[in-house]
Amino acid sequence: MTHHIYNLGAGNDPHVANRILDPQHLSRVSDTFRDLQLTVQRHGPWSAPWVGEAGGAYNSGSRTVSNTFLDSFWYLDQLGQSAKYDTKVYCRQTLIGGNYGLLDTDTYVPNPDYYSALLWHRLMGNGVLSIDFGGTSYLRAYAHCGKQKGGIALLLINLSQNMGSMVTVRNDLNVGLAQGQGITRDSSFVHGLKRTVSWVGSKASDGLEKREEYHLTAQDGNRFARTMLLNGVPLELTEDGDIPPMYPVQVSASSPIYVAPLSIAFVVFPDFEADAC
């Protein structure tokens, strides 16, 4: 059973950018995914829900948003939500064409969403894990079984423009939330939340194990930038026209994860053993 989703409204709507950073607006689409999942379970359990077309904003997308870094926030969040409700296929509108193409219509150079989709494809496995946390709704979190190396992969999306988050992963059901003294980012001081994201696993990380982090930010801090940074390095085609290397940074698996304001992080724990994986 297939359906189309354009939950940001018309491409020429001046509120598209604000909707992308509104956690309540992003969460409304979960009702659609939930209803479709229930419909399939009740009337066609042999079938599966598909997203046959999705581009955020309809009418070819937004000229000022759909081909920028900001667009990846709704896109990755919707991939996480659709997987949570057992969507088997998600078709992005489109590869080439309109403002929402993954490739620039004239130059065929990848837009930021292309790299976001590539990281999702490479890192997030088919198994979707239950995740439970409390605190600010501006931090979105999704967990899957790892794609390549086993373990688990975590997607963290920080919609806040001025608040960073420290995330601590545990393998139990305890969820903690405490006010932090503040988080330093680029020599500036902003108030932050310390929060714990946790799920059930059979083995926690020790101090010797490493995790892999892929932090996505905007070039020059401009959310409408056409170039996205991976761990501070611009994602641009090589001189030969190839996709650039997309290397993670390795960090002690037991240390907290810092998610900067208005940033996205994929975090892979290759040694974390989750029963569901």
**Nearest CA-CA partner of 144 in 272, 26, 251:** 272
**Average pLDDT estimate for 191-200:** 36
pLDDT of residue 132: 76
Whole-number Å distance between alpha carbons of 73 and 80? 11
Residue with the bigger pLDDT between 58 and 178: it is: 58
Per-residue model confidence as pLDDT tens digits over 91-148: 999 999 999 999 999 999 999 999 999 999 999 999 999 887 777 899 999 999 999 7
**Average pLDDT estimate for 242-253:** 96
pTM for the model: 0.88
Is pLDDT of 180 > 60? no
Q: What percent of the chain has pLDDT over 90?
A: 78
CATH architecture group of domain 128-269: Sandwich (2.60)
pLDDT of residue 151: 92
Confidence of residue 84 (pLDDT cuts 50, 70, 90): very high
Whole-number Å distance between alpha carbons of 120 and 112? 13
Q: Residue 84: in which H helix or E strand, if any? A: helix 71-84
Say what angle helices 23-43 and 71-84 make with each other, to 10 degrees. Answer: 30
**Nearest CA-CA partner of 218 in 9, 71, 21, 52:** 71
The answer to whether the CB of 191 falls within 8 A of the CB of 212 is: no
Contacts by 129-133, CB closer than 8 A, 24 or more apart: 129/199, 129/274, 129/276, 129/277, 130/199, 130/200, 131/197, 131/198, 131/199, 132/173, 132/175, 132/198, 132/199, 133/175, 133/195, 133/196, 133/197, 133/198
User: What would the two tokens of residue 274 be?
Assistant: 């989750």
Residue with the bigger pLDDT between 274 and 50: it is: 50
**Nearest CA-CA partner of 157 in 148, 172, 167:** 167
Q: What is the DSSP string of 59-80?
A: SS--TTTTTSTTHHHHHHHHHH
pLDDT of residue 169: 85
**Average pLDDT estimate for 28-34:** 96
pLDDT of residue 207: 56
**Average pLDDT estimate for 65-70:** 98
The answer to whether the CB of 57 falls within 8 A of the CB of 65 is: yes
pLDDT of residue 168: 87
The answer to whether the CB of 212 falls within 8 A of the CB of 150 is: no
- Bridge partner residues of 68 (DSSP): none
**Average pLDDT estimate for 6-10:** 98
Q: Average pLDDT over the chain, rounded to whole?
A: 87
Residue with the bigger pLDDT between 203 and 142: it is: 142
Q: What is the DSSP string of 140-165?
A: EEEEEEESSSSSEEEEEEE--SS--E
In the chain, ranges of CATH 2.60.40 domains: 128-269
The answer to whether the CB of 1 falls within 8 A of the CB of 50 is: yes
Is pLDDT of 194 > 60? no
Q: What is the 3-state secondary structure (H, E, C) of 195-214?
A: EEEECCCCECCCCCCEEEEE
Confidence of residue 5 (pLDDT cuts 50, 70, 90): very high
Neighbours of 207 (CB within 10 A): 8
Neighbours of 194 (CB within 10 A): 17
Is pLDDT of 196 > 80? no
